[in-house]
Structures are given as C-alpha cells and as structure tokens.
Structure 1
Amino acid sequence: MRYLVFGATGQLARELARHDGVTCLGRDLADFTDPESGARLVEETEADAVIIAAAYTAVDRAEEEETLATTVNATAPGVIAGAAAARGLPLVHVSTDYVFDGSGDSPRSPDEPVSPLGAYGRTKLAGEDAVRAAGGPHAIIRTSWVVSAHGSNFVKTMRRLGAERDRLTIVADQIGGPTPAADLAQACLAAADGLVKDPARGGTYHFAGAPDVSWADFAREIFARSGISCEVVDIPSSEYPTPAKRPLNSRLDCSALETDFGIKRPDWRDGLQDIIEELEAQGA
C-alpha cells in the first residue's frame, strides 16, 4: 500500500512517516494557504490512499485568525477531497473533539449534534463538511489530546515545567482521552487500508486513548513515569482562562471505528511510556 500524507512536521505526520509506503508532503510542496497546490498533487499521485494530517492547530490564536484557519482547516481539505473523489482515492481526514460543546459527562458518539465553542472547532467542522460534500470514499477521524515525543504537547510541557517547579496547578474539570500520535497514525493507516478494500465503508469516527482522565491526573501520571517530584493541585477551568474556551467533556465513543475497521481504542499509558522513553533517549 502507498499513502500520500499531507503534513510532514506535525506530531501525526512524523509518526506516519515511520511506516512503509508513506510519502509525507510538507508546506514546501503542499501549502494549505494555497489549496489548489494540494489538489494538483493528488491528481498526480500514484498512491492508493490519501491522508490529511496537516491542520491549523493553534486553538487560541484561531480566535484572531479564523479566516486563515478556515483556509487551512476547511478550504484546503475540501479541495483535496474533491481531487481524491475524482480519482476514486480513499481519503482519511483527521478532525477533533472541539466540534462538540463539551457538555454532559457521557462519551460523544460520531452522530451526536455538533456545536463548536470557538473558531478552531468551527473551522475543523467546516473541514469535515467539505470532505463529506466531495462525495468520495472517506473516513473522518475525530481525536483528542494528541501527544508524542515531537513538537509541542502536554507531555513535553509537563516534563519541562515539572522539572523546574515543586508545584503546579492543573485543570481538573476537563476530561478526555489522551491519544499517542503513534496510535493515531496506525489507526489512520488501518482505516485507509479498509477503505481501499471496501470503498463503500467509511463515514465519521472517533479515536482516542483510554481510559478517560482529567488533565490534572494525566499530569500526575506523566510525573510518576518520568520520576519527577512535582505536586499537582487541581483547579477548575475558570481559574485558568484562555482566549478560546475548551470543552469540559472530551470523552469520545470510539466503538464505531472498531466495528467497521477493527481498530481498538489503545491504552494511552502504554503510549505514554514509549513517549517518555523516546524523550529520555533524546536527552529531553
């Protein structure tokens, strides 16, 4: 199998690049501020499937740059999906739990009503709609709390701050499933393989690590596995205001992905251990 991946430096793209048959395209070749550049690459590719792993992910900055975020998160994926549909190429597009409003305390299923709280969620939802409208075989995979040994993410931030301080206040009323990028990469490839074998399958799915946990308890696990002695003090989101409002409930019902593609929800604690070992090997 050959996969054309949009994205090269992000957490997911870097994990996808570790697999055979994957060609990752960076901004030098596919600039999502120029959506047509991506379409041309799809028209020329010899790949069996397309995966969109590139996105505008600066959640807070999106509140001021929604037009740019819309181009990257909605217009470009829509154009790429159209080019893929024209060739009958299966497409896997990664989305987010931010399409929901975070209400309630039950895991959200893919078919539940969406209601983004901010600009980032709105642009990602528009991207989902554009991919669906293209009409080709596709799997939209919503995920949450992606972490890895690459780029900027919660694990790396906590390890840095925990080593510098004796005590940290961490939000405890936001609950979700941390998702190791390596597991997400495997899920994207498995979904792409499934769509190649049976293009009639597909739709919108959820994929996140288990068990669900608060940011505060996630931090505690990071410190415990990193051998860092740093006290974690639980606080509500109201005590940590941000430009963009975060969903309190990021729990995702991932059962449909297992039913349709045999992709099981991973234990994020296993992935966390791998990430920490990779960071320690890097001296980070």
Structure 2
Amino acid sequence: MILVFGKTGQVASELQALVPDARFLSREEADLSNPLACGDLIREIKPEVVINAAAYTAVDKAEDDEELAHAINGAAPGAMAKACAELGIPFVHISTDYVFDGGGDQPFSPSHATNPLGAYGRTKLAGETLIAEAGPVYAILRTSWVFSCFGNNFVKTMLRLSETRDTLNIVSDQIGGPTSAHSIAVAAMTMARQLINAPEKAGIYHFSGRPDVSWADFARAIFVEAGKEMTFNDIPSVEYPTPAARPMNSRLDCATLAEFGLSRPDWRADLKDVLTKLGAKA
C-alpha cells in the first residue's frame, strides 16, 4: 500500500486520480506541525512506500512564520524519513528550486551548492538535509512553477485576473520551467515503485517542464491557449516587490531523470489539459 501525506494540494490531488487505491492523509489525520506524530503514523500503518506531497507553501508568509514552516517543511519530512528507514521502505519527497539562490543563467544540477534566499527555501532545504541524515532509501524531487486545475497557482491566477482586467504587468526577468502537478505525480509514483526494487537509485533529482520561459511568456501562452485577448507589460522583478525574494534563475538540470526512464515533460501539452479541465480552453 502506498501512503501519501497530503490530500488537497496540487500534487496530492493528481496522485488521487492516478492511484486512487493509495491512502491519503489529510491535515486532520496527519498534523505536519507535529513531526513525531507523522513518523508514528508511518510506523502504525506500515505501508510499502511513502510519498510526502504536503508542505508549507506560502512563500511570503514564511518570512514571518519560519518556525511553523520549518516544522512542516523540515522536521516533519525528517521524522517521516526516520520512520521509513526503520521500516526499510522507500520515501519520496517533493522539494523546490527555492533551495538555490537563482544566480547565473545555467540550469542547476542536483549536486549544485544550495543557497536559499528566504525562509521557505531554508525550511525546504532543512527537510532535504534531515531526510538524508535519517538514512532511508529516498528520492527528493526538486521541481518548480507548479500548476494544475487544483489549488492556487499561476494559471488560475491569470484566468481570474482576466475577468476584471484587460492589461497585466508580468515579471519577465525570472526564468524557469513551468511544471504540471500531474507530471510531478507521475514522476513521484514512477520513482516510488522503482525504489522498492532498485534502492541504488536513491538520491536528489530535478524535475521541471520544458522549455524554460519567463513568467511573462508563460502568461502569454496561457491566454493564447485560452483564446483570450490580453495586453501585457513586461516588468522587471524590482517593480513587483514581494516579502520573500524569488530566484531569478529557476532553470533545473533534469538529465539524471533518465535513471528512472523519465524526461522533462512539455508544459505546453500539460497546459492544454489543465485549461480543458478548467473549462477555459479555446
């Protein structure tokens, strides 16, 4: 049996559609602010594999709430990993490009030095460190710019704003790979199943959609596919200040995905699917 932490988030929602017979733990069942309890749940349930698709994702709010973010993003995954190590079962964990500082213009490899810019990135990096220290057979899947028809994300925000505006100012100097939650769910399941019989594949992997684009170009693609007219003003990040600094370069080197028979998905195809499900496809 597959045990998934998370039930209503973007990736967890896609996992439910993909593997409906897995057991999904809601916030009421698994309080990630109580890390030890999360580990105890794994020991009690004794699954074949654990996927952690839950996280504190409020990037800006984390700047003022780092203690809670650390409990959920750092200590809880560490406790889960410790329980998985004790039971000898694989653990798959979703992480982020925010563990990097976004410098330069080259894709970050899994082995590249980390240097998070803010609280969110620090707490996610803490989770990665604690997972590795716990010693289970694990796959940490760093991804970026997640979108789907579930939850809050850039695609849904753009569509919502288009209901009341005909001009949008969009940041054009941050570059990354938009990644559908569906593709992440497929990758996580692929890794989880293979790790059961191939523990030597354990490690950190990068997974993001292709091609890399700016937020502004991603926005344009959304409206082209939705068949909606919109005027865009490309702006630099300095004109859109946020409490937490964003990486300017979120490009990820995903070459090692080949070990699992995976490759970077084309986000443009996934975008069409999401817009269709949202009833927003032209």
Same fold (TM over 0.5): yes
Q: What CA distance in whole angstroms lies between the structure 2 residues aligned with 1:144 and 1:74?
A: 18
Are the aligned partners of 1:208 and 1:252 in contact in 2 as well (CA < 8 Å)? yes
Q: What CA distance in whole angstroms lies between the structure 2 residues aligned with 1:255 and 1:45?
A: 35
- Report the identity percentage: 55
2:82 aligned residue: 82
Q: What CA distance in whole angstroms lies between the structure 2 residues aligned with 1:9 and 1:230?
A: 31
**Deviation digits for residues 238-276 of structure 1, max 9, x if unmatched?**
000000000000000011112x11111100011100100
2:201 aligned residue: 201
Match of 1:5, SS state, is strand
Match of 2:204, SS state, is strand
Q: What CA distance in whole angstroms lies between the structure 2 residues aligned with 1:212 and 1:162?
A: 24
Q: 1:233 Cα deviation (Å)?
A: 1.1
Q: What CA distance in whole angstroms lies between the structure 2 residues aligned with 1:157 and 1:220?
A: 13
* Alignment RMSD (CA, Å): 1.1
TM (normalized to structure 1)? 0.97
Moved more, 186-195 or 44-53: 44-53
2:11 aligned residue: 12
Match of 1:169, SS state, is strand
2:271 aligned residue: 272
Unaligned runs of 5+ in 1: none
In the alignment, residue 12 of structure 2 is paired with which amino acid?
Answer: A
**Deviation digits for residues 90-121 of structure 1, max 9, x if unmatched?**
00011000000000001100000000000000
Unaligned runs of 5+ in 2: none
Q: How does 1:119-130 map to 2 (within 5 A)?
A: 119-130=119-130
Q: What CA distance in whole angstroms lies between the structure 1 residues aligned with 2:61 and 2:229?
A: 32
Q: How does 1:168-207 map to 2 (within 5 A)?
A: 168-207=168-207
Q: What CA distance in whole angstroms lies between the structure 1 residues aligned with 2:22 and 2:248?
A: 35
Are the aligned partners of 2:4 and 2:23 in contact in 1 as well (CA < 8 Å)? yes
Q: What CA distance in whole angstroms lies between the structure 1 residues aligned with 2:2 and 2:164?
A: 41
Are the aligned partners of 1:211 and 1:267 in contact in 2 as well (CA < 8 Å)? yes
Are the aligned partners of 1:91 and 1:139 in contact in 2 as well (CA < 8 Å)? yes
Q: What CA distance in whole angstroms lies between the structure 1 residues aligned with 2:149 and 2:29?
A: 25
Match of 1:77, SS state, is helix
Are the aligned partners of 2:46 and 2:87 in contact in 1 as well (CA < 8 Å)? no
Match of 2:74, SS state, is helix
2:150 aligned residue: 150
In the alignment, residue 67 of structure 2 is paired with which amino acid?
Answer: T
Are the aligned partners of 1:209 and 1:268 in contact in 2 as well (CA < 8 Å)? yes
Moved more, 133-142 or 44-53: 44-53
Q: What CA distance in whole angstroms lies between the structure 2 residues aligned with 1:277 and 1:46?
A: 38
Q: What CA distance in whole angstroms lies between the structure 2 residues aligned with 1:72 and 1:48?
A: 23
**Deviation digits for residues 4-23 of structure 1, max 9, x if unmatched?**
00001100000001123321
Match of 2:278, SS state, is helix
Q: 1:231 Cα deviation (Å)?
A: 0.8
2:248 aligned residue: 248
Q: What CA distance in whole angstroms lies between the structure 2 residues aligned with 1:98 and 1:84?
A: 25
2:233 aligned residue: 233
Are the aligned partners of 1:81 and 1:131 in contact in 2 as well (CA < 8 Å)? yes
Count of residues in correspondence between the two structures: 280
Q: 1:36 Cα deviation (Å)?
A: 1.7
Are the aligned partners of 2:177 and 2:251 in contact in 1 as well (CA < 8 Å)? yes
1:99 aligned residue: 99
1:136 aligned residue: 136
Q: What CA distance in whole angstroms lies between the structure 2 residues aligned with 1:70 and 1:181?
A: 23
TM (normalized to structure 2)? 0.97
Moved more, 113-122 or 198-207: 198-207
Match of 1:139, SS state, is strand
Q: What CA distance in whole angstroms lies between the structure 1 residues aligned with 2:40 and 2:71?
A: 17
Match of 1:104, SS state, is coil
Q: What CA distance in whole angstroms lies between the structure 1 residues aligned with 2:179 and 2:133?
A: 28
Q: What CA distance in whole angstroms lies between the structure 2 residues aligned with 1:159 and 1:64?
A: 29
Q: 1:46 Cα deviation (Å)?
A: 4.1
Moved more, 8-17 or 194-203: 194-203
Q: 1:200 Cα deviation (Å)?
A: 2.1
